[in-house]
Structure 1
Amino acid sequence: MIFLSFYTTTHSMKGEAQAKKQGLAASLVPTPRGVGGSCSLSLCFEGIEAEREAQAFFEEMTVPCALYRQEGEELTCLGRKEAGA
């Protein structure tokens, strides 16, 4: 699973709207345990191109967020943007 965690619910909801506008297969899901400093919602990317699409979407972000890959219980941070990014 590839997901983008945000630090506020407002950013999560705006991220979902932008992903849908771009035609990406992404939906809001509860943020997995172990992800610190984020709100309770993350944007989950699905499909064969999920990681590529999520990485490109993450690069466009101008709000604090973090991109993760989850395999079983293991979380790998693929990138992080702090405030003012």
Structure 2
Amino acid sequence: MSSTVDQNRLLQGGVELWRNAQWRVTSDVLEEVPGHGDYWISASEVHDPMWPDHMAEKNWVDQGLFMEALTKARELHPPRPSQSATATACGGAA
């Protein structure tokens, strides 16, 4: 099965919800803005508390822009009840 990508590099049915200079939040993922690279984080994974430290290890990431985008992604993709319990138990924001 193949996926169709539109002119904005969104999967068929995907919608861009928010963007900054390096990152965008879509209905499916937090990802680098097209043209910058191909790094993405599934919307279901944005509440994992490891992301800030993990991305801080990458020299190509603007940490301020990433944290702004991660915060927006978490706002636009609220955790499911099971994710809230895991994030709270790991010390993350629910």
Greater percentage in strand? 1
TM-score, structure 2 normalization? 0.26
Between structure 1 and structure 2, the one with the greater Rg is 2
- TM-score, normalised to structure 1, is 0.28
Indicate the structure whose relative CO is greater, using CA pairs within 8 Å and at least 6 residues apart: 1
Which has more helix, going by share of residues? 2
